[in-house]
Amino acid sequence: MTVLRQIYRERWGYYFITPTYLLTVLFAVAPVVMGVYFSLYRTVRGQSRYVGFDNYLRLFREEAFQRAIENTLYFVLLIVPLALAISLFLAVLVSPLGTKAQTFFRIAFYLPVVASPVVLSLVWLWIYNPVYGLLNYLLKLVGLPPRTWLSDLGTALPGLAVIVITWSIGQPLILFLAAIGAVPRDYYEAAIIDGGNAWQRFWHITLPLIQPTTLFVLITNTIGVFQIWVVIHLMTQGGPFYATQSLVYLLYQKAFVAGRFGEASALGVLLFVIIMAIAYIQFRFFSRSVEY
Amino acid sequence: MARIALDRSVASPGGILRRLTWSRALLAVRYLLLLALALGFLIPLYWMFTGAFKTQGSSFAVPPEWFPKRPTLANFELLFTRHPTVRWFANSMVVAAGTVFLTLLFSSLAGYSFAKKRFPGQQALFWILLATMMMPRQVTLVPLFILMRQLELFNTYLALILPLVSWPFGVFLLRQFIQSLPTELFDAARIDGAGEVGLWWHIVMPLSRPALGSLAIFTFVASWNDFFWQVVVTRTDTMRTLPVGLTRVAEQEFGVNLGIVMAGAVLTSLPLFAMFFAFQNYFIKGITMGAVKG
């Protein structure tokens, strides 16, 4: 009874979260449940049939799926560490500069994030064009042979990764600058008096103190890169020969090109499990690391 | 050791001078390196802007024209006359405005409730929201698409707006911000006879303006760039948003007239750039606020 009375007394607390909760349940929680359900069914000639785990088994046997896993891992392992290293390097270079210079570089590196991925993908499509693209022209200037970037098995995947890196730097840079700015100055002064060089100061002071930010960047970028889709959709459509097929692009093809909603749902569930595992790791680290 | 080195440099003026020129040279190297990298990052954007003003011939020119030799506005004219670009632009604006409005409204209510009220089950309800926030939208893409068809919302503004509003990032941002408001303020207003809705409207809303500003900008950008979902859930030219329309233009014109595609790209990114330059500080604040304790 006391709980009921308490609920009644605090009823406005519930009223205020109701709109948010209605939307969350309808458009975020229900689709997860539906996704699991759909992944166990297959529609054949308009008839929905229970097929157990057959959708999953079909996926595992498919070459496109295996390549999608490989490529997605490749993207993650290439883009995430590179984006982290570049943005951290830039932050260290920018952080001692004056306010105006800091603002300038923050803007310069954040602008590609502001332009939408759709826009940048189209511009890069032009830059990579083997006949009239800027890249081959620049290579010719330094005496290198032209390449057919996006239709070449060897360069298509790294070619897309480069583009994604250009818009994965801006946000971490801003976060790192804020984190480095929060490190007390006297730590560095003490280290200088003790004879610590620039590298030692970075390794023993900056890096440990900005660790929560590093972790945040690492994990949000990982989850972001797992969902790579726009560049593939607009530039290579997963080709040549599955060379740029990714998990999310495969999901898109299954659902909206081939109309196989069961298999697409199974892929969605797998993606959910993978990403929740990453989120779980994120959680454990966050509860352990220092408040900031 | 270090102390001795320090003393020696103080003792001889030559040492200080050498140190100064050395550190100045390092600073110059630092600037050069940063400028070169920034240039590399900005070249695609430069290419887009200049490309939009190039004639059909010069967009395919080899060697490429670093600056359009005969700058023209014809691309923009063709973009608007050959394609329903105005409609696409209006669609994107309507969808973004609707998303921003509903997100601010619902997030401020829920954020206030989670920050300043105590009710049974609050913790659990909050964790559920946290879990849904971490969930990537691509995972629920297929069921959401089927759901929209069943609700007969497919190819409507609501289908474009509601899934984004249900993303609870704003609730967290505002809860974080409202927690920092002094509780005495609410107690005083309550004593003065303010109702629950009055507290929200007269205290929470005006005082959270900085957080609401950041959230509005982020939501606008998120909605404008919600390309994947917009591709999936729109079917007709009258419902397409500008980025989706732009890809239609690209499909038809890419090998024919690059200038039109680049003009469309400029138009698509212009509202985002304008917003960024007008509200830079909100952007920076929003990014750091969103990251702090997720």
* Interface-testing mutation among A15, A24, A228, with chain B (most B C-beta atoms within 10 A): A24
Same domain, B49 and B169: no
Residues of A in contact with B200 (CB under 8 A): 16
pLDDT of residue B99: 96
CB pairs under 8 A between A and B: 265
CB contact under 8 A, B228 and A229: yes
d(CA A146, CA A137): 8
Domain presence at residue B94: yes
Residues B29-33: what's their mean pLDDT? 90
Residues of A in contact with B194 (CB under 8 A): none
Domain presence at residue B79: no
Q: Does B166 touch chain A (CB under 8 A)?
A: yes
CB contact under 8 A, A13 and B143: no
Residues A127-131: what's their mean pLDDT? 89
* Interface-testing mutation among A9, A20, A167, A273, with chain B (most B C-beta atoms within 10 A): A20
pLDDT of residue A20: 93
* Distance in Å, alpha carbon of B113 to nearest chain A alpha carbon: 5
Task: Write down the ipTM of this complex.
Answer: 0.87
Number of domains making up chain B:
2
Residues of A in contact with B144 (CB under 8 A): 27, 31
| Contact residues, B window 183-212, toward A, CB-based 8 Å cutoff | 196, 200
d(CA A93, CA B31): 9
Band the pLDDT of B13: cuts 50, 70, 90.
low
The residue ranking higher by pLDDT, A120 or A282, is A120
Number of domains making up chain A:
1
Question: b/e for B14-28, b at 16 or more Cβ within 10 A?
Answer: eeeeeeeeeeeeeee
Domain presence at residue B80: no
Q: Nearest-CA residue of chain A relative to B169? A: A20
Question: b/e for B62-74, b at 16 or more Cβ within 10 A?
Answer: eebbeebeeeeee
d(CA A237, CA A120): 16
d(CA B119, CA B234): 41
Band the pLDDT of B92: cuts 50, 70, 90.
very high
Write the secondary structure of chain B as one string of H (helix), E (strand) and C (coil).
CHHHHHHHHHHCHHHHHHHHHHHHHHHHHHHHHHHHHHHHHHHHHHHHHHHCCCCHHHHCCCCCCCCCCCCCCHHHHHHHHHCCHHHHHHHHHHHHHHHHHHHHHHHHHHHHHHHHCCCCCHHHHHHHHHHHHHCCHHHHHHHHHHHHHHCCCCCCHHHHHHHHHCCCHHHHHHHHHHHCCCHHHHHHHHHCCCCHHHHHHHHHHHHCHHHHHHHHHHHHHHHHCCHHHHHHHCCCCCCCCHHHHHHHHHHHHCCCCHHHHHHHHHHHHHHHHHHHHHCHHHHHHHHHHHHCCC
Question: Which whole-number Å values give the CA distances from B175 to A150, B36, B179, B239, in the listed order?
Answer: 45, 41, 6, 34
Residue type, B95: V
pLDDT of residue A292: 40
Q: Within a 10 A sphere around the Cβ of B255, how many other Cβ atoms?
A: 11
Which of B31, B47, B74 finishes a domain? B74
pLDDT of residue A253: 93
Same domain, B198 and B269: yes
CB contact under 8 A, B44 and A123: yes
pLDDT of residue B293: 42
Residue B171 · residue B103 · CB < 8 Å:
no
d(CA B67, CA B236): 37
pLDDT of residue A174: 92
Residues of A in contact with B118 (CB under 8 A): 10, 13
Residue type, A264: A
Residues of B in contact with A193 (CB under 8 A): 2-3, 6
pLDDT of residue B145: 93
Same domain, B68 and B89: no
Question: Which whole-number Å values give the CA distances from A138 to A124, A135, B92, B247, in the listed order?
Answer: 14, 5, 37, 27
Q: Which of A60-69, A162-171, B4-13, B146-155 has the lowest mean pLDDT?
A: B4-13
Q: Nearest-CA residue of chain A relative to B277? A: A107
pLDDT of residue A3: 82
Q: Looking up tokens 């730097």, which residue turns up?
A: A169
Which of B26, B44, B74 finishes a domain? B74
Residue B42 · residue A111 · CB < 8 Å:
yes
Q: What angle do CA B143, B163, A32 make, to 5 degrees?
A: 35
The percentage of residues in chain A with a pLDDT greater than 70, rounded to a whole number, is: 96
Same domain, B26 and B52: yes
**What tokens were used for A104?**
């300038």
Same domain, B57 and B136: no
Band the pLDDT of B128: cuts 50, 70, 90.
confident
d(CA B104, CA B158): 16
Same domain, B21 and B150: no
Domain presence at residue A260: yes
Domain presence at residue B92: yes
Same domain, B62 and B100: no
Residue A109 · residue B41 · CB < 8 Å:
yes
Q: What is the pLDDT of residues A183-208, one digit of tens each?
A: 888 888 888 888 888 888 888 888 88
* Interface-testing mutation among B10, B160, B166, B285, with chain A (most A C-beta atoms within 10 A): B166
By C-alpha distance, which of A242, A236, A217 is closest to A64? A242
Q: Does B57 touch chain A (CB under 8 A)?
A: no
d(CA B193, CA B212): 26
Same domain, B163 and B246: yes
* Distance in Å, alpha carbon of B118 to nearest chain A alpha carbon: 7
Question: Which whole-number Å values give the CA distances from B46 to A124, A269, B38, B125, B270, in the listed order?
Answer: 12, 41, 12, 47, 13
* Distance in Å, alpha carbon of B67 to nearest chain A alpha carbon: 13
Of A229-243, A265-279, B92-106, B270-284, highest mean pLDDT = B92-106
| Domain range enclosing A141 | 74-288
Same domain, B208 and B230: yes
Q: What angle do CA A125, A131, A136 make, to 5 degrees?
A: 75
Residues A214-230: what's their mean pLDDT? 86
Residues B166-172: what's their mean pLDDT? 87
Domain presence at residue A22: no
Domain presence at residue A139: yes
Domain presence at residue B136: yes
* Interface-testing mutation among A123, A134, A247, with chain B (most B C-beta atoms within 10 A): A123
Domain presence at residue A19: no
Residues of B in contact with A35 (CB under 8 A): 139-140, 142-143
Same domain, B64 and B99: no
CB contact under 8 A, A6 and B136: no
Q: Nearest-CA residue of chain A relative to B253? A: A122
Average pLDDT, chain A: 87
Where residue B173 sits, what CATH number does that domain have? 1.10.3720.10
* Distance in Å, alpha carbon of A291 to nearest chain B alpha carbon: 8
The residue ranking higher by pLDDT, B70 or B267, is B267
Band the pLDDT of B11: cuts 50, 70, 90.
very low
Q: Which of B17-31, B231-245, B255-269 has the lowest mean pLDDT?
A: B17-31
Same domain, B56 and B199: no
Burial of B288 (0-12, 13-18, 19+ CB in 10 A): middle
Residue B169 · residue B108 · CB < 8 Å:
no
Q: Report chain B's C-alpha Rg in angstroms.
A: 26
Position A291 pLDDT exceeds 70: no
Same domain, B43 and B105: no
The percentage of residues in chain B with a pLDDT greater than 70, rounded to a whole number, is: 91
Average pLDDT, chain B: 86
Residues B182-191: what's their mean pLDDT? 88
The residue ranking higher by pLDDT, B90 or B28, is B90
* Interface-testing mutation among B99, B112, B138, B219, with chain A (most A C-beta atoms within 10 A): B138
Which of B37, B54, B74 finishes a domain? B74
| CA within 13 Å, CB half, B47 | 25
Residues of A in contact with B293 (CB under 8 A): 286, 291-292
Q: Does B270 touch chain A (CB under 8 A)?
A: no
pLDDT of residue B16: 65
Where residue A169 sits, what CATH number does that domain have? 1.10.3720.10
Residues A118-135: what's their mean pLDDT? 91
Q: Which of A191-200, B11-20, B167-176, B255-264 has the lowest mean pLDDT?
A: B11-20
Residues of A in contact with B42 (CB under 8 A): 108, 111-112
Q: Which of A42-51, A265-274, B268-277 has the lowest mean pLDDT?
A: A42-51
| Domain range enclosing B193 | 85-291
